[in-house]
Structure 1
Amino acid sequence: MTIKTRKIVGQVLFILFAFYLDGLMKWAFLNNMNRETIVVLPQLMLMTIVMLTMRIEDRRQLIIYGIVFGVVYDSYYYGIIGLYTVLLPLVMVGIDHFRFLLIKNNMGYDLSVYFLALTFLQSGIYLLERLLQQTSTDVLDFITYTLGPTLLWNIVVFFILYIPIANLSEWLVKYRRDSK
């Protein structure tokens, strides 16, 4: 197995581990918080995907990751294949397209890109659910009771987990031809 193949397997395992932690956070912490009208959605998998997208150069690989993990997320959480399957690759290609604007990867840039990606993804899911008539929530209730708490929770988690996730994603993407 070549080093590049090991790195790709490591990236996939890293995203799957974040997917597992998403479910664990939702089950362990947020079940007690989501009893009222407020809904908090953990997006640790999106955080790892954003970190990897900021560092991976190959757009084809990003689209494959987006489609595969979008289908996995849809099939596990929603049951409607298409929400994450469409929006996750769009987020990843958008980040890749505007990456040239970023001088270097640091916490401020990563936080702003993650914040925009999370806002786009949650708003896109809401719009698609409205188009498919899966929700009857109006826009102001969505912003107040879902988008705001979700952004707040995920930004706090971002600050707590930034250093380990950034270092691991940097290590998983770095590829040297001379090393074995």
Structure 2
Amino acid sequence: MNMRKVVALPLIAIAVFILEGISSLLFSQAFFGEQRLFIPHFLIVMLVLMATFYNRNITLIYAFVLGMVFDIYYTGILGIYFAIFPLVVYLTDKFMKVLQNNIALVGLVVVFNVILTESLVYGFYVLIGVTDMTLSSFVDQRLWTTILLNLAFFLIAFFPFRSFLLKLKQSDGK
């Protein structure tokens, strides 16, 4: 039995889940002030890296589970992230079959998936009447800072997490 797969990967997922919540509470006001919002999507970054450097099917399981837990814990509306996280994994898998998996292209896939996630959530919230933020306000006050934050997290996490996933994949014998 592979202890990295059984223990370390779930612990990393839990740590990233907690880090995402803590970072939104601790750093939002300090870095961007009250007029700018940032939404950490560290789980999206983690799932993109897993889909790129590890097993797609296992990553899909993580996406469904993390999406459900995220919806229950953070949003209160079941189904938004439960649908978006697996979509991100699926799209990443399709992109990476065509693209090389170097840091620049994986970073672009991360940015694309963060934009997709934010746009889908914004569109859904507008549709059900939860927000009245205009599209220009959304892009100006929320989207750009969210992209920058998640890109910074990607740059910090890329090399250590990629190394971990490649070792895990190698130990699985694939």
Moved over 4 A (4+): none
Instruction: Choose from 95, 102, 106 the match for 2:102.
Output: 106
SS in 2 for 1:42: coil
1:15/1:49 contact within 8 Å kept: no
Q: 2:110, 2:60 → 1: CA distance?
A: 18
Judged with a 3 Å threshold, the aligned counterparts in structure 2 of structure 1 residues 118 and 8 are, in CA distance, closer, same or farther, namely: farther
CA RMSD of aligned residues (A): 2.1
The C-alpha deviation readout for 1:5-44, integer Å capped at 9, x for no partner, is 7515432222111111112212222243465231111122
Q: 2:48, 2:56 → 1: CA distance?
A: 14
Q: 1:172, 1:140 → 2: CA distance?
A: 43
**Corresponding position: 1:70 with 2:102:** no
SS in 2 for 1:174: helix
Instruction: Choose from 52, 55, 62 the match for 1:54.
Output: 52
Alignment of 1:11-160 (within 5 A): 11-33=9-31, 36-59=34-57, 61-103=58-100, 105-160=101-156
2:49/2:158 contact within 8 Å kept: no
Which has the larger helix fraction?
Answer: 2
- Give 2:108's aligned amino acid: S
1:48/1:169 contact within 8 Å kept: no
Judged with a 3 Å threshold, the aligned counterparts in structure 2 of structure 1 residues 6 and 34 are, in CA distance, closer, same or farther, namely: same
1:19/1:45 contact within 8 Å kept: yes
SS in 1 for 2:27: helix
Judged with a 3 Å threshold, the aligned counterparts in structure 2 of structure 1 residues 164 and 142 are, in CA distance, closer, same or farther, namely: same
Query: Which stretch of structure 1 is more off in the superposition, 64-73 or 29-38?
Result: 29-38
SS in 2 for 1:63: helix
Q: 1:88, 1:137 → 2: CA distance?
A: 24
Judged with a 3 Å threshold, the aligned counterparts in structure 2 of structure 1 residues 176 and 84 are, in CA distance, closer, same or farther, namely: closer
Q: 1:121, 1:165 → 2: CA distance?
A: 22
1:7/1:173 contact within 8 Å kept: no
Q: 1:176, 1:157 → 2: CA distance?
A: 27
SS in 1 for 2:171: coil
* Structure 1 alignment gaps of length 5 or more: none
Q: 1:127, 1:176 → 2: CA distance?
A: 40
TM-score when normalising by structure 1 = 0.86
Residue-pair matches, total: 174
TM-score when normalising by structure 2 = 0.88
Q: 1:8, 1:132 → 2: CA distance?
A: 39
* Structure 2 alignment gaps of length 5 or more: none
2:47/2:59 contact within 8 Å kept: no
The C-alpha deviation readout for 1:28-71, integer Å capped at 9, x for no partner, is 22243465231111122211111001123343x33322111001
